[in-house]
Amino acid sequence: MPRIARIYGESGYMHVYTRGNGQQIIFEDRSDYIYYLNLLKKYSSETGVTICAFCLMENHVHILVYDPERNITDLMRRLSSAYSGYFNWKYKRTGHLFEGRFNGIPIESEDYLLRVFRYILNNPKSKNICETEKYPWNSYSRYGKAESFVDTSVFQELIGSWDEYTAFIAADYEDCPELEEYTRGDIWAKAVIRDVLRIKSGTELQRYDMQARNDALRLLKSRGLTVKQIARLTGINQSAIESA
């Protein structure tokens, strides 16, 4: 069966998230971050996807894009393939570097767009790594810079000057629990179920025969879903899942 189509919003804005397979480190040193950013610049230009913000963390990446032509899948396919090849060659490893397909959350309101923008830039601060403005691998310092491949023009209209921008990023703000949940919560788990099993809802497993159901349950567990998550999203009781 073909892959389940991604959900795109009407605005064209999307929060893209990808992580290392099994949460492994995907950036070992400074040159790795630079190589990834060079690829991001190259492929965003070739695919016509506008990069509005980014943050590269040790084992995952956040990118805010504007993609009205819906080319994000092409961008992320090229980016992941090229970087994986580079990383595996450099560190003499084999196998998948990234954990399946990238995740993408459509953004449909101005308020949510601003919240995601701030959330992405503040990731190092929220993870107690360093202050946002001191982190070298986010797009914080690229605000309003025409020579950068990062286009912050929409945020310059919404936020204002550099001083207003720095105050906006530094101010106390409402967190984005739905974004944190997405990384390993039910939103993420539902996406795994759709992508891995090629079904629209986990409850469809209830109609499988015993062998097919157990195979599917084991596959979901191997992809990082907890027994409680699987039970909640499929309607299959925990004892049956544990037996499988």
Which one of 29-43, 183-197, 215-229 scores highest in mean pLDDT?
29-43
Range 13-176: architecture per CATH: 2-Layer Sandwich (3.30)
pTM of the model: 0.72
The domain segmentation of the chain, as residue ranges, is 13-176, 185-243
Mean pLDDT to the nearest integer, 161-175: 86
pLDDT-derived band of residue 2, with 50, 70 and 90 as boundaries?
Answer: very low
Give dist(CA 140, CA 121) in Å, integer: 6
Out of 11-20, 37-46, 71-80, 224-233, pick the least confident.
Answer: 224-233
